[in-house]
Structure 1
Amino acid sequence: MRRKVSAIRGTRSLAQLNFSTEARTFAKLTNVKEIATRGPITSDHLIRTKSVPAIIDPENPQRSLDEFSSAYKAYFERHTNGEQKCLDSAPRWAVWPGHGTIAFGANLTESGIVSDIAEHTVKAIQLAENLTAEGFSGGWQPVSEKHLFEAEYWVLQQAKLKSENVNQGEQKTISEFQGKIAIVSGAASGIGLACARELFAQGAVVVGLDLNPEISKIFCEPGMLGLQCDVTDQKAVIEAVAETVRQFGGIDILVLNAGTFPAGQTIEEMGEQTWSRSLEINLTAPQQLLQACVPFLKEGLDPAVVFMASRNVPAPGAGASAYSVPKAGLTQLARIAALELGKFGIRVNILHPDCVYDTGLWTPDALERSAKRYGLTVEQYKSRNILKIDVKAKEVARMVCAMSGAVFAKTTGAQIPIDGGSERVI
């Protein structure tokens, strides 16, 4: 539904689902289609929500939205004096009979306002109808359709929205991902947190998954939702994906970042638990999260998946088989996903970072030990690549955004290094 509304409106839209007791009760009324489409509470609501909501046919939601669009255009033609320009014909909210209501908006602010108005409208309609049921005259009675049109297309009403658009104009020009919904795993720290923040800064609403219970506090801004989730727990993953869809209406970007880096051990000395745990976190968990997201990515807006692999895939090191092998498997999974999902317009690409030192993994002691092993200073060790540079988490995040956006719009199945250049890879 969200994709269809976006197409009709001509801009990406979020969808906030309301399955509260009040919304469900309203949606279950046998006459909900008749009473919900009589009109809005006030003209101020009208310019936010249009005169009526769409009524979703569970058997054919797409047709319901097409019918709403056609009906809106006919409504305009019935009342225009020839001087007005027809607004877009997409609904701003909908009633899903038996389930609840849905609010649509180009961003979280707009969908939130529409959701609030829809909630108040539902309450007002039910209160008015209850009075009729108790023997009082009246019920839910809006003004005539002609008056609704005059209010919706009144110059001063439209000026309110135009003023808001002007104020938001600068932001719109830089927000590539406005109206898009992203999931980032392993998002409480390091590369994952950097990816989440960069996607959010570029306009996306972002859901971060992490085992860390502080994730909900870390993701504290409107438009950032932190969910504690063990990505190795399939049931928890499915629920996290469902919550994302309930909150925002779908999934457009998936960043498979969660992982673990086991302590270095040779194949001979490695314990079975080390091997199994790394496979579970670094390979099986991303597969499960991708699998749970695919049905929603198929309905996404220019959907993209980014796998966080490793420079260890093309250039493995001794003593790192527990890490390198799952990452190699992850890369192969991504390549197959690109082959399978391309027909649905889903792009799948792979990013191979080398060591990213401004993350929690690289403590001062760990850096000292690693540098000493190579006979280098810490600064020399951090820049032991062709370009002699230190790659930061934010720079990895910017590459993730590029791979999720217009720059990579025609690329899938690619493996991109971000390592300063490695002689072992080149």
Structure 2
Amino acid sequence: MAEASADALTKLIEVSRTLGSDRSLVLHGGGNSSAKVSAESPTGHSVDALYVKSSGSDMRDADRTSFVLLDLATLRTALPYSGLGPEQFRLMQQRARLDSGAASPSVEALVHAALPHKFVLHSHADAIVTLTNTPDGAALVKQVLGERFVVCEYAMPGPALGSAIWSLWNSLPHQAQQDVLGIVVLNHGLFTFCDDAQQSLENHLHAVAVAQSYIEQQLGQPLEPIALRSPEPSKAEAVELAQLRRELSERAGHPVVLTSRRAEGKDLGDLQQGPITPDHVNYVGYRPLDLAREQLPQWGDEYLPQSGEPQDATLPILSRLPRVIVGQSTISCVGRTRKESLRSVDIVEHQLASAHASSALGGYRPASTEHVRDLEFWPPQLNKLRATDNALPLSGRVALVTGAASGIGKACAAELLASGATVVGWDISEGVSQTFDSPEWIGMRVDVTDAEAQAAAVYSIVAQCGGLDILVVAAGVFPTAQHLTELDPGMWQRTMSINVDSVVTTFGLVQPFLALSPSLGRVCVVASKNFAAPGPGAAAYSSSKAALTQLSRVAALEWAQDGIRVNMVHPDAVFDTALWTPELLAKRADHYGMTVDEYKTRNLLHTEVRSADVGRLVRAMADDTFIATTGAQVPIDGGNERVI
């Protein structure tokens, strides 16, 4: 314990990041690591302590905030395990924290406390669990890794696994303890340990490399995730996906996101036997829903908590749902957000490869359903899932924003993202995919005047997200001013094509999916003050916005029977867009004999209208603020005398 605490933590962060950067070892918050140090207790005394990864943090991005400092003696009072209940376990870990404001520690903190070594590293390495998930996994591990790696039977993470490791370690003769480099827990993963951080990491990576080499020799190919490609569904297939998402959302009591992948020619039978480790249950469930054999209402009858079990009424959304659904040619993954559903896709791709490899090595034998159930519905595991609940108002909703790469469209997309929605942005700009850096953002380069491109993009949205809940029409053009006597017919047609005709196409394509929205479809159309107060030289623009307003009013009338709300906002003088350059602003202000600031606030309220203001209004139209409103036309112009 002589090494300074800060130095040990720095080394722990380094090796944790290395481990976490390899997706064949650690996926999405999995794995954990620790370092034993000397620390100061709240009373000022020096104590033996343990830095351990916090629950759910990602080793790939590990930093000082990713680790919790615990009193080692307090942890070890729970070893060996003697019937420590969930609440007792929680209180014990809480008492052990030397910083009461720190995050919750990993549930495997007791394993790290049970081992005497300074540094302990743990992963769910694909190659290791592949070996263990075979009919005689223990013998295969010993054959492949040798005597310096000992085998522990599966035990549920927490007190049970901590006790199992404690008992196993203390049963080893002293000389064996000196020789052992790691412990393999069947159906679970690998622990390596050493008083030197780098050596512990090298032992870990070497064991995994040996396992991978053996598997490659036996299979004739490397153990790699099975890449599943995005489908290109037909309209009928897209409608089926949207119907499925609606059923899932109704069962959850909250909208969910459904990400699908094409799976023709893939043997999916192994998935029915369960995840390669129970630790993946929150992302892939105990088994998929196979639509060829059963329907959603029957899924989980033999597995989910029955009426009367104490946790039944408080199960998080994901615990009530299959997280993987196998269709005729697709695999679909369920999440509360797109980020969650994509994590499930990742884990499924690794799980398929590992399960197939185990089958080739003699048979796929993962942990029993009882073990998986015990972990999924263990209160600390449920609390871990609840801790990641997204309480944002539009969480789980899918929005499409046209013209989303700049200006008002971009502001609308930003507001929807901030409110928790998964947002798909269409724009003709090549940079639309990089408009936002968020897993909830999908940027598509779409020319809205191309009906076929629109159709393909809509069906792609359903394949990637499961459906559509919100449409924001913000794409449009404001052509150069032309008086009627000099009006260019080509400019008139182009303005109408973009501002009106393209929206007719969009409306026709999205209506079936908005009608299947689990939260009732919502449409907000960004029109213009010009629909009511046209300006000289703006015949094409004013006429197009008037036509767009009438089109949207008709949609409100026709779609109300499906619960779809269609509302309009009418901005004016929004000057923080690419259209309004400093030179143009100065020219227009001079035309009116005003300063630029006076020109920008020439409304009754003498306020500047910004894109973000329009975005906030559109977001309110998309959430439940206007839940009982359709066909409304709301100006956002600071007060315009001609409109009022």
Give the TM-score of the pair, scaled to structure 1. Answer: 0.87
Kindly indicate whether the alpha-carbon contact (under 8 Å) linking 2:454 and 2:506 is maintained by their aligned counterparts in 1: yes
Whole-Å separation in 1 of the counterparts to 2:603 and 2:374: 67
Kindly indicate whether the alpha-carbon contact (under 8 Å) linking 2:375 and 2:381 is maintained by their aligned counterparts in 1: no
Structure 1: which 5+ residue stretches go unaligned? none
1:152 equivalenced with 2:376 (yes/no): yes
Could you say which residue in structure 1 is the equivalent of 2:572? 354
Kindly indicate whether the alpha-carbon contact (under 8 Å) linking 1:70 and 1:89 is maintained by their aligned counterparts in 2: no
Could you say which residue in structure 2 is the equivalent of 1:13? 256
Whole-Å separation in 2 of the counterparts to 1:109 and 1:270: 49
Query: How many angstroms does 1:54 deviate by?
Result: 0.7
Q: 1:48 to 1:374 in 2, by over 3 A?
A: same
Structure 2: which 5+ residue stretches go unaligned? 1-243
Query: How many angstroms does 1:150 deviate by?
Result: 2.6
Could you say which residue in structure 1 is the equivalent of 2:326? 95
**Which letter maps to 1:65?**
L
Per-residue Cα deviation, 1:147-180 (whole angstroms, up to 9, x for no partner) = 4333333x3xx424413533x46xx34x211111
SS at match of 2:399: strand
Higher RCO (C-alpha under 8 Å, 6+ residues apart): 1
Task: From 280, 290, 294, give the equivalent of 1:45.
Answer: 280
Q: 1:148 to 1:270 in 2, by over 3 A?
A: same
Could you say which residue in structure 1 is the equivalent of 2:416? 199
Task: From 100, 113, 124, give the equivalent of 2:343.
Answer: 113
Per-residue Cα deviation, 1:259-306 (whole angstroms, up to 9, x for no partner) = 000111111110111111100011011121222212221222322111
SS at match of 1:208: strand
More moved, 46-55 vs 351-360? 46-55
Whole-Å separation in 1 of the counterparts to 2:635 and 2:295: 46
**Which letter maps to 2:465?**
F
Kindly indicate whether the alpha-carbon contact (under 8 Å) linking 1:313 and 1:324 is maintained by their aligned counterparts in 2: yes
Query: How many angstroms does 1:81 deviate by?
Result: 9.5
1:217 equivalenced with 2:434 (yes/no): yes
1:181 equivalenced with 2:181 (yes/no): no
Per-residue Cα deviation, 1:336-378 (whole angstroms, up to 9, x for no partner) = 1111111111111011001200111111221122222222222
Could you say which residue in structure 2 is the equivalent of 1:85? 312
Whole-Å separation in 2 of the counterparts to 1:344 and 1:117: 37
1:424 equivalenced with 2:637 (yes/no): no
**Which letter maps to 2:373?**
F
Kindly indicate whether the alpha-carbon contact (under 8 Å) linking 1:2 and 1:15 is maintained by their aligned counterparts in 2: yes
Whole-Å separation in 1 of the counterparts to 2:271 and 2:436: 36
Q: 1:82 to 1:267 in 2, by over 3 A?
A: closer
Task: From 398, 403, 411, give the equivalent of 2:621.
Answer: 403
Query: How many angstroms does 1:196 deviate by?
Result: 0.9
Query: How many angstroms does 1:234 deviate by?
Result: 0.9
**Which letter maps to 1:85?**
D
Query: How many angstroms does 1:188 deviate by?
Result: 1.0
Kindly indicate whether the alpha-carbon contact (under 8 Å) linking 1:72 and 1:89 is maintained by their aligned counterparts in 2: no
Whole-Å separation in 2 of the counterparts to 1:271 and 1:84: 69
SS at match of 2:484: coil
Query: How many angstroms does 1:83 deviate by?
Result: 4.9
Whole-Å separation in 1 of the counterparts to 2:308 and 2:468: 41
1:140 equivalenced with 2:364 (yes/no): yes
Could you say which residue in structure 1 is the equivalent of 2:58? none
Kindly indicate whether the alpha-carbon contact (under 8 Å) linking 2:483 and 2:536 is maintained by their aligned counterparts in 1: yes
Give the TM-score of the pair, scaled to structure 2. Answer: 0.59
1:328 equivalenced with 2:558 (yes/no): no
Query: How many angstroms does 1:245 deviate by?
Result: 1.6
Q: Hey, which bits of structure 1, 4+ residues long, moved more than 6 A?
A: none
Whole-Å separation in 2 of the counterparts to 1:239 and 1:125: 34
Whole-Å separation in 2 of the counterparts to 1:248 and 1:392: 31
Whole-Å separation in 2 of the counterparts to 1:38 and 1:163: 24
Kindly indicate whether the alpha-carbon contact (under 8 Å) linking 2:427 and 2:447 is maintained by their aligned counterparts in 1: yes
Tell me the matched-pair count: 396
SS at match of 2:525: strand
Task: From 25, 28, 34, give the equivalent of 2:265.
Answer: 25
Kindly indicate whether the alpha-carbon contact (under 8 Å) linking 2:337 and 2:440 is maintained by their aligned counterparts in 1: no
Whole-Å separation in 2 of the counterparts to 1:418 and 1:48: 43
Kindly indicate whether the alpha-carbon contact (under 8 Å) linking 1:208 and 1:219 is maintained by their aligned counterparts in 2: no
Kindly indicate whether the alpha-carbon contact (under 8 Å) linking 1:18 and 1:100 is maintained by their aligned counterparts in 2: yes
More moved, 353-362 vs 378-387? 378-387
Matches within 5 A, 1:206-285: 206-285=423-502
Whole-Å separation in 2 of the counterparts to 1:344 and 1:69: 31
Whole-Å separation in 1 of the counterparts to 2:285 and 2:600: 57
Whole-Å separation in 1 of the counterparts to 2:300 and 2:517: 21
Q: How big is the alpha-carbon RMSD for the aligned residues of Structure 1 and Structure 2?
A: 2.1
SS at match of 1:290: helix
Query: How many angstroms does 1:57 deviate by?
Result: 4.2
Q: 1:215 to 1:108 in 2, by over 3 A?
A: same
SS at match of 2:502: helix
**Which letter maps to 2:512?**
P
Per-residue Cα deviation, 1:370-393 (whole angstroms, up to 9, x for no partner) = 222222222222111111111000
